[in-house]
Structure formats: structure tokens, C-alpha cells
Amino acid sequence: MPKSATPTHCPYCALQCGMNLTVGPDAGVEVAERADFPVNRGALCAKGRTAPALLTSRLRLTSPLVRKGGKLEPAGWDEALDRIAGALDGARHKHGPDACAVFGGGGLTNEKAYALGKFARVVLGTSQIDYNGRFCMSSAAAAGTAAFGLDRGLPFPLEDVARTGCVILVGSNPAETMPPALRYFTELRENGGTLIVVDPRRTRTAEQADLHLAPRPGTDLALALGLLHLVVAEGRTDEAYIRERTTGWEEARAAAMAHWPEYVERVTGVPVPQLREAVRLFCAPESAMVLTARGPEQQAKGTDTVGAWINLCLATGRAGRPLSGYGCLTGQGNGQGGREHGQKADQLPGYRKLTDPAARRHVAEVWGVDPDSLPGPGRSAYELLDALGTDIRTLLVMGSNPVVSAPRAAHVEERLRALDFLAVCDVVLSETAELADVVLPVTQWAEETGTTTNLEGRVLLRRQAVAPPEGVRSDLEVLHELAARLGVEKGFPADPEEVFEELRRASAGGPADYSGITYRRLAEENGVFWPCPASERPVGAATGDSTGTGARTGGSGFSAKGTPAEVHPGTPRMFLDRFATEDGRARFVPVSHRPSAEEPDEEYPLLLTTGRVLAQYQSGAQTRRVDELNAAAPGPFVELHPRLAARLGAAEGDPVAVVSRRGRATAPARISAGIRPDTVFMPFHWPGAGRANTVTNPALDPTSRMPEFKVCAVRVEPVDRDQPGAEVAVRA
């Protein structure tokens, strides 16, 4: 590595791939391979390779903007901050603290997420805070917590995937969403293991599978229950494991037995022989895993769906054992850490529950406030956005673009416009920022230091490599300045390491305990897996349990008796000895299939599912500004099966409209035999006429409050190329 290179991590997905950044003689930033980081081992996708493009001032904000006469105009920092503080202060005094809301992002560093949650609850006194990570893996988190007592996306390192015997990959397409991770599935097969992919589309990932199951969207729950039915019927359960390490099996088994194979075939469209083959492949080796992603999770029954896949793992003894288990492939860059430290509506730092009196006392002591002053849980993400302009009068957005990323997006855009005041902190002028009264230009990944937590629960140090442009400040500086203007002079430092030191103390003893992790340690190691308490045991004592929820002694580096303690190694593999429940046993949760919130009918006879493409990321606010990525994926499209296209009279590239009860999105047709004839697909990265989330359904999971992005009833109509707006739709 050149002496001038800075080891850091990619700003995009939850792999948080390692990379080296070098500043050239012309001040340009170049990405170089970093083979020592074990997650990507030097490999980078196109998004990672081109990430420095956005560091140029030509593509990003470098001055605050304030709305004057209906237009956003450049302004000084003091004017912009004063406007925001005045609006927030006025709203809370006139309408109460809950008139102020905060909306965060799964790409914010742990330090920013922590400070944002503290700012909302201590400075504003509002309960109205949530973040776009609610749209990512909240269903998996809810199901994992119910079953295991604790959720961490992957309770084992990615390297274990390559060494297990079989993986069922449900609703995930890593070949396009996180390409460097695909090597683990390739190595799995090279090592003699098998890969089963569950997806209504024959994606690039599905093409590499030993078995591809293509269920009708919204029927993943029935599919999982059908597989468990066959496991029981064929005598493939691990009775000793069930007896020794679980509870609730009888009720879960009874629920599964109501989903016999022929019924499941009718519901899902997956033939019975494929169901039987999936069970055979999954149960044959000594070890196996189920990994889920947004496909089964972004449904109004996502928590139950993930719970059914967990039940399959538990019934076959495939959880809490080496090279076996259930895991969730987190999507956003800091989707894991972002929800652990307080920007989620119902949580305090350390993954503590806001309703837990002991948790409130602990965090309040760290913050120096009365526990009773902390507000209770507020609205979930979509419910918060839906309430804008009603009892919520002002909104601060940090690191999110809900105009493109939220379901029923046209309605969300209307609610944003209905606010008395909107402030947005962002790197670029996103579609949400364009609606704001004040926009603040903030630093990005390579211009600041901070920690993130990847999909494995590995806490990482992302180092500053370059200075930000003049006129740009960090989000932590923004919160520091706003807190001071709102009467809180202390407690909001702008230095990220100082914030992390407080985060360590606030998380100590919680489920996501970071108290044993320091910047110095992260600089010397390739990440540390939480939970990692500051001290676990006196030197020479026996190793504690592998849930990582054992002894907690605070941040002194000594045991409770004052004996010098060993440095906790972190917890790469969880649940090997016991689960994080009171009795150490995993919980079966009985679930049954039910229809999606919106089923096809005569007016809307098709199903829409949404997802991502290789060259774009999330709402596209950043990647749509990179020439190389736009050349690879210039705009939205509607993927149609040839039979459906023929029925519509649509050829490749013809503009078509996807229409639901919520709105209409238009984009060119892409004809593919790799999608079910009853299903259409749209990527969701673009605004305007091709905005897929104009159409999607905000129906919420009753537990996780996850919207049903992945399935809604639609019809598809041809669009006359000469019709006004058709050309815009094609180029959108």
C-alpha cells in the first residue's frame, strides 16, 4: 500500500467493502484494492470503484441553500442554522415537542445515528423520530428477536457461507445488489455445497443456483410452511435439538401441517417435486443456512414470513450450530448499526427498548437527564411521513430521500409539501432536498471519520482521506450548532471519536454492547463484532457464553472485582451455546399463510415487485450523478414476460405504464423469459415518471411496520410514443 493511501470502506451497501484511497497530484482521489479486508478481499463492484466521483465539487452541494421568494438561494451557515433552529423552536412552543420530527438514514455512521436520536429526544423532546432503515430489515429484526431473543443481521461471518452444506437464499440477488458477496456462494458450490434461490425472477443470482424456486410474489410464507410440512412428513426433524434447545414446537408444527404440498403449489406456483427437492437438498448435509433479504421481508406479513423460515431452521437443527443458522442480508451501508443506537422510533442506544425502565435510566444517566424527560416511542417511518403537515409541522431529514424511496411516493411528496418547514442535510440536491426550506451541505464518507456496522455485525472504522470542500460541514457539526441554538450547550460534540466514546458508555450492558470497542482498536483490527463488552472476565477465567450477552462490567477495562480483565475478542458467531432468551432456548413462533394486502382482480390483474439493478443504489441520489453508472443503467424499465408483452402488443423498448390504485409509472418495456407471466418488475432508483414507488402499497406489517414494497396489484398499459410525457418516461 502506498504511504499516502488511506485504508477505509465503501460508502454504499452493507458489505462495507475495504478499499484504499489515494490522492493524486491533481487532487483527484483514486480507489485501490485492499486485499487484507476479509469481507471483499479486494474485490469491488462498479459503485465502489466509482465512489470518489461524487467527491468533486461539481456534483455536490458546497453552500447552504435557503428558500427565498419560492426559490432556493445560497446563504451563509449562520443564516441557515438560525432559520432551522427558529422553525423547530417555534413549532415546539406553539404546538408541542411532537410537532417537530426527525427522519434519519441507514447510511449515517453510528456516531451520527446516535447523536441524531439523542438530539430528537433531549433537545427537541420529540417522540417523532424514525429512519429509512425501517424499510430495509425491520421484519427480519422483529422475527429474529422473537425467535432468538436478539437480532444481528448475520449471526456469523460471511466466510461461513462458503463452508456450509446448503444455503436457501430467499428474495436476494447479490449478483446485482452486493456483487463482491457472490464469491461466497460460488465457493459454496465449489466446496460441494448447494445453493437454492427463491425469487419470482430468474436473476443473475438464480442462474447460478442448483435449484431455483419461482413463487408468486407475496407467497414466500406459504412456501416456507410447505417446506416445513414436508420436513415433518418425511421424518427429517431433529428431535433431540428441538427438545434440548427450543420451545413452542407443537404449535408451530400444527400450523405448518395445514400447508400440505398440493395446497402450497396452488398458492405459490412452485411444483411439488421442486418443493421435495428443496427439502432433500437442505436436509442432506450436516450444516445448512437460510438467508433472507428484502423479497420476503418487505411485505405486510414480512415478520411472519421470516419467522416461518426461522422455524424451518429450528426444526432441522440448523441454528446456533457451527456453519448453520438463519441470517438477514442487510442492504444499506449502516443498516445494522443505524438502528442499534437510537434513530429508530422505539429504541435507545445499545439496541435497548425505549419502553424498558432500566434502559431509560441507564441512557438518561449517560446523557445527564431525567429518565422521565425522555419521550416514549413515536411513529414508524411511513406513519411519520403520512402524518406530515397534520400534527407534525416541521421535519429535519438527515441522509434520506423519501420522495423516491418511500411507498406511495406521490402521497409522501404531498405530505412533505404540506409542512410548515422542511430542513434537509445532504451531500447532493436530492429530490427531497429540492422541496426544503433550508438545505445544508454535509460531508460524506471520505471526508470524515466514523464507524459503521456491516451486515455481519462487524464494527468498522471509516477514515477520513480528504478534506471536504470549503463551505461543507459534518452532520455532527450541524447537530452541535442546532443544539446550542436551542439551549443545549453541551452534550453534542462535533468530534466523532468523542461521540463514539459516549456511545460506548450508552451501549454498555445492552444487547448491542459496543463498550469494548475503541477507535484505536478498530484502527488496528479488521473490525470487531458486537456484542463486545468493555471487560468480560478476569484474566484466566473460562470463556463466557457465545451469545455475547454475558457479564457486563462497564467501560473501565476491569472486572467488577477490580481484577485486570482480558480484552473481549468480540462475538463473530452467536448462539453456539445458548440463545439470548431468558432460558437460553430459541422460540418457535406459529404462523400461517395469509394473502397479501392487495391481491389481483379484474381491474388490476397483475402483480408488481420492485428491486435494484447493479449500477444504481437505493434512491439513486448519488449513483445517478456518476457518468459510468448512468451509462450502464440510464433509467427505469418495466420487465415483462414475453407472453404478457405479446398480449399488450409491447416490444422491447416500447413505453408502457404500470398502474395501481395509488398512481401510474411509465418506463420502457424490457422483455424477459426470466420473470413469471403474472408478474412485472420495476427498479426503484429513479424519480419522475418512472418512479416505481408511485405505485407501491404502504400497507404495513403489524409488528415491524414494514411497508409492502414487494407486492401490489397493477395493470400494464401500452403508451403511445406520441402521447405527451411518453418521451420523458422513456428517458427518466
- Structural domains in the chain? 6-55 (2.20.25.90), 65-136+334-506 (3.40.50.740), 138-328 (3.40.228.10), 508-581 (no CATH), 606-731 (2.40.40.20)
Angle at which helix 249-257 crosses helix 220-233, to 10 degrees, equals 110
559: confidence class by pLDDT, cuts 50, 70, 90 = very low
- DSSP percent split of the chain into helix, strand, coil, nearest 5: 35, 20, 45
DSSP letter, residue 545? -
Alpha-helical runs (H) found in 179-248 = 182-190, 220-233, 239-245
DSSP letter, residue 124? I
544: confidence class by pLDDT, cuts 50, 70, 90 = very low
214 or 732, greater pLDDT: 214
With a pLDDT cut of 70, the percent of the chain lying above it is: 94
- CA distance linking residue 76 with residue 678, whole number of Å: 54
Question: What pLDDT does 551 receive?
Answer: 32
* Residue reference for cell 444481528: 152
Q: Which three cell numbers stand for residue 582?
A: 431468558
Q: What is the arithmetic mean of pLDDT over 124-149? A: 96
- CA distance linking residue 82 with residue 504, whole number of Å: 32
> Does the structure show a pLDDT above 60 at 730?
no
DSSP letter, residue 708? E
Among residues 575, 671, 596, the alpha carbon closest in space to that of 241 is found at 575
Question: What pLDDT does 209 receive?
Answer: 98
Question: What pLDDT does 728 receive?
Answer: 41
731: confidence class by pLDDT, cuts 50, 70, 90 = very low
Question: What pLDDT does 546 receive?
Answer: 54
Sign of torsion, CA 718 722 723 726?
positive
Among residues 606, 610, 605, the alpha carbon closest in space to that of 679 is found at 606
> Does the structure show a pLDDT above 80 at 518?
yes
- Which of 132-136, 312-316, 500-504, 692-696 is least confident? 132-136
Return mean pLDDT, the chain.
Answer: 93
Q: What is the arithmetic mean of pLDDT over 552-581? A: 66
> Does the structure show a pLDDT above 70 at 552?
no
> Does the structure show a pLDDT above 90 at 85?
yes
Among residues 203, 162, 167, the alpha carbon closest in space to that of 186 is found at 162
587: confidence class by pLDDT, cuts 50, 70, 90 = very high
With a pLDDT cut of 90, the percent of the chain lying above it is: 90
> Any residues with CB less than 8 A from the CB of 540 and at least 6 apart, and which?
none
Question: How many Cα atoms sit within 13 Å of 679 on the Cβ side?
Answer: 23
Please state, in angstroms and as integers, the Cα–Cα distance from residue 236 to each residue in 246, 356, 457, 674, following that order.
16, 40, 32, 32
> Any residues with CB less than 8 A from the CB of 150 and at least 6 apart, and which?
144, 351, 511, 547, 549, 574, 579, 580
Give 317-331 pLDDT, tens digit per residue.
999 999 999 999 988
Sign of torsion, CA 560 562 564 567?
positive
Q: Is there a contact between 419 and 393 (Cβ–Cβ < 8 Å)?
A: yes
Burial (Cβ within 10 Å: 0-12, 13-18, ≥19) of residue 494: middle
Question: What pLDDT does 28 receive?
Answer: 83
Give 175-232 pLDDT, tens digit per residue.
999 999 999 999 999 999 999 999 999 999 999 999 999 999 999 999 999 999 999 9
Give 306-318 pLDDT, tens digit per residue.
999 999 999 999 9
- CA distance linking residue 110 with residue 18, whole number of Å: 18
723: confidence class by pLDDT, cuts 50, 70, 90 = low
* Strand-strand pairing, 394-398 and 352-353: unpaired
Q: What is the arithmetic mean of pLDDT over 258-262? A: 97
> Any residues with CB less than 8 A from the CB of 201 and at least 6 apart, and which?
173, 214, 609, 639, 672, 674, 675, 676, 679, 681
Question: What pLDDT does 535 receive?
Answer: 72
> Does the structure show a pLDDT above 60 at 459?
yes
3-class DSSP state of 169: strand
- Which of 1-10, 55-64, 400-409, 641-650 is least confident? 1-10
346: confidence class by pLDDT, cuts 50, 70, 90 = very high
- CA distance linking residue 363 with residue 503, whole number of Å: 10
Question: What pLDDT does 536 receive?
Answer: 52
Give 654-672 pLDDT, tens digit per residue.
999 999 999 999 999 999 9
- Cross-strand partners of 111: none
56: confidence class by pLDDT, cuts 50, 70, 90 = confident
539: confidence class by pLDDT, cuts 50, 70, 90 = very low
